[in-house]
Amino acid sequence: MPMELVPSLHIIGSRAMGGAESFFARLVNGLVEKGAPVQAVLRPQSPLPRHLASSVTVHTVAMRNGWDILSALQLRKLVEREACPIVQTYMGRATRLTRIPKGLDVVHVARLGGYYKIQGYYTHAHAWIGNTRGICDYLIASGLPAQKVHHVPNFVDTPAPIPESLRKDLRKRWKIPDEAWILFSLGRFVEKKGFDDLLKAFSLLPEKISSKRIFLAIAGDGPLKGRLFRLANQLGIEARVRWLGWQDDPGPFFSMGDIFVCPSRHEPLGNVILEAWSHGKAVVTTETVGPTEIASDGDTAILARIADPQHLASSIRKALEDEDLRRFLAESGNRQFKENYTKDAVVTQYLTLYDRLLR
């Protein structure tokens, strides 16, 4: 079977968009672009179908929780019926519910993008993919066989050029002066993403640097939204914070920003950093496990201490005050992206691995 035509069935049990779901869509679409037949299994109310290529066959299974026996039986029948040689699952719920019948010539690949509980959720798979070397080490330390643990990084799409007119329109729409600095960040509004640390750090910055006002633009949504809005008000910075909402296509906002800031308290990889690099933006990130694996302090990013708004503020200020440093970080990060994290490079790695697993 030619490598690029390996059929695969991809299963994910989440109900909202986030980093894993965005990568699911990018990988599935990337496989389709290579010519591989791809099917997807999603929950009925999943927002993912609108992000998938029209040629992707989509099945729905409730996957209400990790103990949904009816869904497990439905998945088993679906896997038997479709007989795709590769079944790839994402995160704990989908992986726990997916059980390959004995004797069926199918390889179950569990793809992990975090340090999840392994026992009871992942051990029954046939092979495992970690999107960082740190996750792969964790999987092996958790008792999975090293020869069946594979490192394949994430990728983000190479962005099309953003017209200067669009950047100007966005600034006008969000009432940000043309000459102002923009710090851009995005993600789910949950505790581990550290947006409260970012707001506190922003409040510690002067209102102007090099005679230019500083604005903070945050794209995202989540359960902490109300708390974050209130915090911005309490800190007295609400007039210079722009809440952009969840953006399915954040590309224009990356382009609009001067610096991208990732304030996470826990970040297994950091897809948002790859996106910032793809747009040629300087990055300031906390030194969580993922960013410290893919980025080098002072080379491809500035690393700030975790949950330390004062240090994060000084790191941002360092980047804003030094044009040569910003340019160097942007160019180095973009080079890192092009060498390691493009769609073509990573999708080819997946297809090569699928081919090897089937031999």
End-to-end CA gap in the chain? 10
Question: 258 and 352: one domain?
Answer: no
d(C-alpha 6, C-alpha 166), whole Å: 40
CATH code for the domain in which residue 74 is found: 3.40.50.2000
Q: Is the pLDDT of residue 177 over 60?
A: yes
From residue 18, how far is each of 61, 164, 190 by CA, in Å? 20, 28, 11
pLDDT at position 248 is 87
203 and 121 in a common domain: no
Q: What is the DSSP string of 21-67?
A: HHHHHHHHHHHHHTT--EEEEE-TT-SGGGGS-TTSEEEE----STT
Residue type, 275: E
261: which strand partners? Answer: 284
pLDDT (tens digit, 9 = 90+) per residue, 105-127? 999 999 999 999 999 999 999 99
pLDDT tens for residues 127-142?
A: 999 999 999 999 999 9
Measured distance CA(342)–CA(160) in Å, rounded: 13
How distant, in Å, are the alpha carbons of 64, 66, 96, 103, 331 from that of 70? 10, 11, 13, 22, 51
Pairing state between β 208-209 and 212-221: antiparallel
Q: What is the mean pLDDT of residues 76-96?
A: 98
HSE-CB for 163 with a 13 A CA cutoff? 3
**DSSP-assigned beta bridge partners for residue 221:** 188
Among candidate residues 338, 323, 219, the one with its CA nearest the CA of residue 278: 338
* pLDDT (0 to 100) of residue 19: 84
Question: What does the alpha-carbon distance between residue 346 and residue 325 come to, in Å, rounded to a whole number?
Answer: 29
The answer on 322 and 174 residing in a single domain is yes
282 and 297 share a domain?
yes
Regarding whether 273 and 169 lie in a shared domain, the answer is: yes
CB 270 within 8 A of CB 20: no
Q: What is the pLDDT of residues 10-53, one digit of tens each?
A: 999 998 888 899 999 999 999 999 999 999 999 999 999 999 99
Mean pLDDT in residue range 282-309? 98
- Cβ proximity of 46 and 36 under 8 Å: no
The rounded distance, in Å, linking the Cα atoms of 136 and 250 is: 29
Q: What are phi and psi of 178, to 5 degrees?
A: -55, -35
Q: Do 128 and 149 share a domain, yes or no?
A: yes
Average pLDDT over residues 245-270: 95
Residue 37 structural domain: 3-155+342-357
3-state secondary structure of 297: strand
Q: What's the total number of domains in the chain? A: 2
**Residue 25 backbone dihedrals phi, psi, to 5 degrees:** -65, -45
Binning pLDDT at 50, 70 and 90, where does residue 191 land? very high
86 and 121 belong to one structural domain: yes
Q: What angle do CA 86, 344, 331 make, to 5 degrees?
A: 140
What is residue 18's predicted lDDT score, i.e. its pLDDT? 84
Do 36 and 126 fall within a single domain? yes
Report pLDDT for 83: 93
C-alpha span between 328 and 278 (Å, rounded): 14
pLDDT at 190: 96
82 and 96 housed in the same domain: yes
71 and 127 in a common domain: yes
pLDDT at 3: 52
Query: 241 - beta bridge partners?
Result: 216
pLDDT at position 2, please? 46
Residues 144, 187 within the same domain: no
Residue 100 in contact with residue 111, Cβ under 8 Å? no
Same domain, yes or no: 243 and 286: yes
What confidence score (pLDDT) does residue 1 get?
45
The DSSP symbol for 126 reads S
Q: Above pLDDT 90, what percent of the chain?
A: 96
DSSP state of 242: E
Q: State how far the Cα of 351 lies from the Cα of 162, in Å rounded to an integer.
A: 31
DSSP at 318? H
Region 143-153: mean pLDDT is 98
